Amino acid sequence: MEGERDLKLRPIGFIVSPYKTMEEAPRQGFLSRQPSRIVIYEAYRKGLDGIKAGMELDVLYWMDRAERERLYSEGKGRGVFLTRSPHRPNPIGVSTVKVLEVGDGEVVVRGLDAIDGTPVLDIKPAIKG
Amino acid sequence: MEGERDLKLRPIGFIVSPYKTMEEAPRQGFLSRQPSRIVIYEAYRKGLDGIKAGMELDVLYWMDRAERERLYSEGKGRGVFLTRSPHRPNPIGVSTVKVLEVGDGEVVVRGLDAIDGTPVLDIKPAIKG
């Protein structure tokens, strides 16, 4: 709480997706059957060390076309924190994906609902429920 | 990719936790047995509408004491994107928690490994695996 903090995100890469608009994208990542590519910028590629086909990962991305002022979903009749809508104060998407293939500085995955060009923020190994 | 983007986070609240340092905190949220409180700033409280005891939520928070330059874990012998360590380019933590109680502008939960004072970025309903 004390003083200034660096709350600025550093995109580590971007998503190459068959979904070009928010309308085309599936409502949630787990509904996505089409593969997407996660391209990681050169400066961050060392962080991918060890990622292999078959692994489950959590991918965090920045839904940069979202509206950030919305706090309530009229359609759903509940607060935005009880929805997974992209429109929220910090439009960070989280999808659990399956790795199909690992390339040079990129990872091909299934299970991502993010649209083409979406900045990627983080990748973590998924926790099995 | 084109032009400037607003990649600045807006904390929606903070965590009141029994864990005061990174050393005291459990390694992962699901290992945490002690309840934590998520206090939401007045301006964002409308977003909590509908949250009830018993629900499972994903909580996203900003691990502001993390080092952001680390890309490789020497200890684990793999890239940071294959660890859930707080030390990573965008130190965003994600924990799935259970709601124990809902108060006025706050939510008491179990399953959070974040330390006391950690800024909260987002809350979403968890997806059941």
Count CB pairs under 8 A between chains A and B: 146
Q: Is the pLDDT of residue B1 over 60?
A: no
Residue A112 belongs to a domain: yes
Question: Between B25 and A52, where is the model more confident?
Answer: A52
Cα–Cα distance, B45 to B41 (Å, whole number)? 6
The pLDDT of residue B3 is 41
Which residues are paired to A102 by β-bridges?
Answer: A107
Q: Do A90 and B122 touch (CB under 8 A)?
A: yes
A22 three-class SS = coil
Residue B5 belongs to a domain: no
Q: Closest residue of B to A55, CA-based?
A: B82
Question: Between A75 and A28, where is the model more confident?
Answer: A75
Q: Is the pLDDT of residue A3 over 70?
A: no
Q: Do A84 and B10 touch (CB under 8 A)?
A: no
Percent of chain A with pLDDT over 90: 81
Runs of H (alpha helix) within B52-117: none
* Tally of structural domains, chain B: 1
Average pLDDT value for residue range B105-112: 96
Q: Closest residue of A to B56, CA-based?
A: A82
If one counts every other C-beta atom within 10 angstroms of the C-beta of residue B77, the result is 10
Residue A107 belongs to a domain: yes
CATH code of residue B65? 2.40.30.70
Q: Do A82 and B127 touch (CB under 8 A)?
A: no
Average pLDDT value for residue range B81-110: 96
CA dihedral sign, ordered A9, A14, A20, A24: negative
Question: What is the span of the domain harbouring residue A87?
Answer: 13-125
Residue A76 belongs to a domain: yes
Q: Is the pLDDT of residue A2 over 50?
A: no
The pLDDT of residue A5 is 62
Q: What is the pTM of this model?
A: 0.93
Q: Tokens at residue A13, please?
A: 């890469």
Residue A3 belongs to a domain: no
Residue A48 belongs to a domain: yes
Task: Give the nearest partner residue to B129 out of A46, A50, A129, using CB atoms.
Answer: A129
* pLDDT tens digits, one per residue of B27-55: 777 777 889 999 999 999 999 999 999 99
